[in-house]
Amino acid sequence: MTDVIRRRPRQADVAALAGVSQATVSTALGTSPARASLSASTLERVALAARTLGYVPDPVARRLAAQSTDLLGVYTFTDAFPVEVRDSYYPFLVGIERSAARLGYDLLLFTGTSSSRGGEAVQKVRLADGCLFLGRHVPEEQLQQLLDAGYPVVYVGRRTELGGRLSYVGADYVAGAAQVVDHLAGLGHTALLYVRGTDDAVASADREEGFWRAVAAAGLRGQVQRAYASSIDARALQSWRASGVTAVVTEENDANDLLAALLAAADDADVAVPQEMSLAVLGESGGVETAPRVTGFALPRQQMGEDAAALLVDLVTGRRTGPVQELLVPSLLVGETTGPPPPA
Amino acid sequence: MTDVIRRRPRQADVAALAGVSQATVSTALGTSPARASLSASTLERVALAARTLGYVPDPVARRLAAQSTDLLGVYTFTDAFPVEVRDSYYPFLVGIERSAARLGYDLLLFTGTSSSRGGEAVQKVRLADGCLFLGRHVPEEQLQQLLDAGYPVVYVGRRTELGGRLSYVGADYVAGAAQVVDHLAGLGHTALLYVRGTDDAVASADREEGFWRAVAAAGLRGQVQRAYASSIDARALQSWRASGVTAVVTEENDANDLLAALLAAADDADVAVPQEMSLAVLGESGGVETAPRVTGFALPRQQMGEDAAALLVDLVTGRRTGPVQELLVPSLLVGETTGPPPPA
DNA sequence: CGGTGAGTCTGATGCGTATCAGCAACGCTG
DNA sequence: CAGCGTTGCTGATACGCATCAGACTCACCG
């Protein structure tokens, strides 16, 4: 009598029942080309035995032997499930999950905070076939190691670190900025001011580039000014108006809310938006509860997630190779803060 | 010359560099008690070698050998990241992630939809040390197999399937219902009507039990009626009033919105809520956009998630054993639909 | 009848780690 | 010096699967 409290059945058990070798079971149940050279009757017997025993392959062993788990890692540097539901990461995850599910992959969720052993923790993602990263943070050394080992990694969001070796699916801020500027040009504005924050993030630079390009293309007058939210007040606004500016665009900026400062300044200065001054943001206007719906552009977040996951799968399967970098074009959001310029 | 494009370093490489055996490296780098019997100098040499080579343990191999991955599975039968952000599962996930992170576990996310091979798919969770399930669906056969193998499973939500062998962290609907009834009793109501749906879900039965218990404890008159949303109209409402009922409670019910039907009926019958008739729900009143904030109780969803994950970890580590069943008490939500009964 | 090839299947091996029995060297006791 | 316990390490093995180089059988051809 064999032990009744047998652990999970393994291929060896199936093999015994079917009267074949473990190797044959592996072949019969797998998808390798070798499968074609097994007789129909053997395939059938193995399948039957497997069903009878309720055999299910052990994904861990499978991975150890074959280097593949049908798992995609998702590494976030903040909680993946933010309490702030409006959190901007969320739509990425929705997209990622969709794509993964469609392609038959499951998700391995790492939170930077968890195994807080800092650096080393990232290596744990190797349990998955490949890994998506999202978040501002870029652990260069760790990524370096992963890349060197040929481990597939895709960032959600444009990342220029590591000399372009990183694959990513990002948003085309240049195009987004251009859309906003074009929108203003279409309304008849000719003198624009772009107020941007003082940091040097990639996205910021892209937005500025988009601003300049569109300004040039449309033959407008434009200028850029860097500012802290605290330095934007009624007086500044008045001086801009005096210099002929009819529309101000700014960047969304969580840390340092330029947009809110501009709205407040307009209010202070009794400048009606958009009648006397148009206002737009090169990005999305934060929360839903923002009083006026501000003109700007929306990142195709869910689509970015989907594309990133799909790209990762391609890298994993080898359908695509090398660093692949993809930019998706945002869509213009026309809000209530832009209108034709005031009559001269 | 050894091959330069060497794969990730393994313990064998560290061992060679440190001049010890692979077994020693495993012991030195691990946490087993055997570690104590290694000399300080050896520990040091191994640690140095590991650091030099940038050795990182392979989570897969570790799991295969040691049956432990520091991973918790999360199995949902719908998308884990619902597009409907208001989705009721979401807070569970927030709690789960928190707990997991705090306890040093990462999350393995399975969506019932992904590996759609139906039943067998559930077995994939074995990659994790234990698994949380959420969703109405209960794949009994599959769970049976997992339980029989001693695999730790915890449901989020009370589940009475499998003869009580399932561990869960649920909401105490009995207590929740009692809170609502007590609230009404405190306001002076003496005749209550509980309108419930027609299904026989566990939660429904619990609510009804809570209703009866609290009614008995408070010495009130109560009655229960089963109904479809479509059968609730102005006439029904009037007849209830005629029979002396001053407060109606119902259950939240996504499929068959009794609550909405009641509100509509009150409107039709020109019965003012809560002046002429109080209305409460034994659960949460659906969306945020519900016109009046309906009195009811809130499930401590996030807490349930946290507790469930914590429980699972206890089961995994063996700190607790056997089926553990936990109920958390909801908190009363006093809304705008309950008030004192009309003067007789 | 020896030889060739196609069709089927198996034994052996590796993946990277954890664990355990056991070995060698050493000091100590009687 | 025989006997014994300690300390510090290693060899062997298991975990469950995939893969590959053969081995074996049988039909068929020259």
Both B98 and B117 in one domain: the answer is: yes
In Å, what is the separation between the CA of B337 and the C1' of D17? 62
In which band, very low, low, confident or very high, does the pLDDT at A115 lie, cut at 50, 70 and 90? Answer: very low
Whether pLDDT at A88 is above 80: no
- Burial of A26 (C-beta count, 10 Å sphere; 0-12/13-18/19+): buried
Domain count, chain A: 3
Domain membership flag for residue A2:
no
Both B294 and B202 in one domain: the answer is: yes
Closest CA to B126 of B62, B64, B168, B58: B64
The answer to whether the Cβ–Cβ distance between B97 and A83 falls below 8 Å is: no
In which band, very low, low, confident or very high, does the pLDDT at B46 lie, cut at 50, 70 and 90? Answer: very high
For A134-144, what is each residue's pLDDT tens digit?
Answer: 888 888 888 88
In which band, very low, low, confident or very high, does the pLDDT at B118 lie, cut at 50, 70 and 90? Answer: low
CB-based contact (8 Å) between A114 and chain B? yes
For A260-317, what is each residue's pLDDT tens digit?
Answer: 888 889 999 999 989 999 999 998 876 555 568 899 999 999 999 999 999 999 998 8
Establish how many alpha carbons lie within 13 A of residue A310's alpha carbon, considering only the half-sphere containing its beta carbon: 13
Residues of chain B with C-beta less than 8 angstroms from the C-beta of A73: none
| Nearest chain A alpha carbon to B146 | A8
Both A168 and A208 in one domain: the answer is: no
Is the minimum distance from the CB of A272 to strand C below 7 Å?
A: no
Domain membership flag for residue A130:
yes
Domain membership flag for residue B30:
yes
Q: How far is B276 from chain A (nearest CA, A)?
A: 35
Both A191 and A274 in one domain: the answer is: yes
The neighbour count for residue A264, using CB atoms within 10 Å, is 16
Probe site for chain B from A56, A131, A141 (most B CB atoms < 10 A): A56
Mean pLDDT of B38-52: 92
Q: Which residue has the higher pLDDT, B317 or A329?
A: A329
Q: How far is A124 from chain B (nearest CA, A)?
A: 6
> Coil, strand, or helix at residue B317?
helix
Residue whose CA is minimally distant from C9 C1': A24
In which band, very low, low, confident or very high, does the pLDDT at A101 lie, cut at 50, 70 and 90? Answer: confident
Both B272 and B181 in one domain: the answer is: yes
For residues A249 and A264, is the Cβ–Cβ distance under 8 A? Answer: no
Residues of chain A with C-beta less than 8 angstroms from the C-beta of B106: 108-111, 114-115, 124
Sequence-separated (6 or more) residues with CB below 8 Å from residue A286: A252, A254, A257, A259
Both B177 and B293 in one domain: the answer is: yes
Both A197 and A295 in one domain: the answer is: yes
Domain membership flag for residue B237:
yes
Both A217 and A290 in one domain: the answer is: yes
Q: Which of B70, B106, B114 sits opposite A101 (nearest CB)?
A: B114
Per-chain mean pLDDT for chain B: 85
Residues of chain B with C-beta less than 8 angstroms from the C-beta of A69: 60, 127
CATH number at B235 reads 3.40.50.2300
For B55-69, what is each residue's pLDDT tens digit?
Answer: 888 878 888 887 777
The answer to whether the Cβ–Cβ distance between A97 and B80 falls below 8 Å is: yes
Whether pLDDT at A82 is above 70: no
Both B27 and B53 in one domain: the answer is: yes
Residues of chain A with C-beta less than 8 angstroms from the C-beta of B8: 149
- Reduced DSSP (H G I as helix, E B as strand, rest coil) percent helix, strand, coil of chain A, to 5: 45, 15, 40
Share of chain B above pLDDT 90, in %: 45
Both A139 and A200 in one domain: the answer is: no
How is B88-101 classified by DSSP, letter by letter? TTHHHHHHHHHHHH
In which band, very low, low, confident or very high, does the pLDDT at B120 lie, cut at 50, 70 and 90? Answer: low
CB-based contact (8 Å) between B277 and chain A? no
Domain membership flag for residue B6:
no
Whether pLDDT at B310 is above 90: yes
Q: Are strands B106-111 and A296-298 parallel, antiparallel or unpaired?
A: unpaired
Domain membership flag for residue A64:
no
Q: State the pLDDT at residue A50.
A: 92
Both A147 and A189 in one domain: the answer is: no
Q: State the pLDDT at residue B286.
A: 61
For A9-66, what is each residue's pLDDT tens digit?
Answer: 899 999 999 999 999 999 999 888 888 889 999 999 999 999 998 888 887 888 888 8
Mean pLDDT of B329-342: 93
Domain membership flag for residue A340:
no
Domain membership flag for residue B29:
yes
What's the rounded Cα separation, in Å, for the pair B70 and B273? 53
Both A293 and A178 in one domain: the answer is: yes
Q: Which residue has the higher pLDDT, A88 or A126?
A: A126
Q: Which domain holds residue A314?
A: 71-172+305-330
For residues B332 and B297, is the Cβ–Cβ distance under 8 A? Answer: yes
How is B182-201 classified by DSSP, letter by letter? HHHHHHT--EEEEEE-S---
Nucleotide nearest to B14 (CA to C1'): C16
For A145-188, what is each residue's pLDDT tens digit?
Answer: 788 878 899 999 999 999 999 999 999 999 999 999 999 999 99
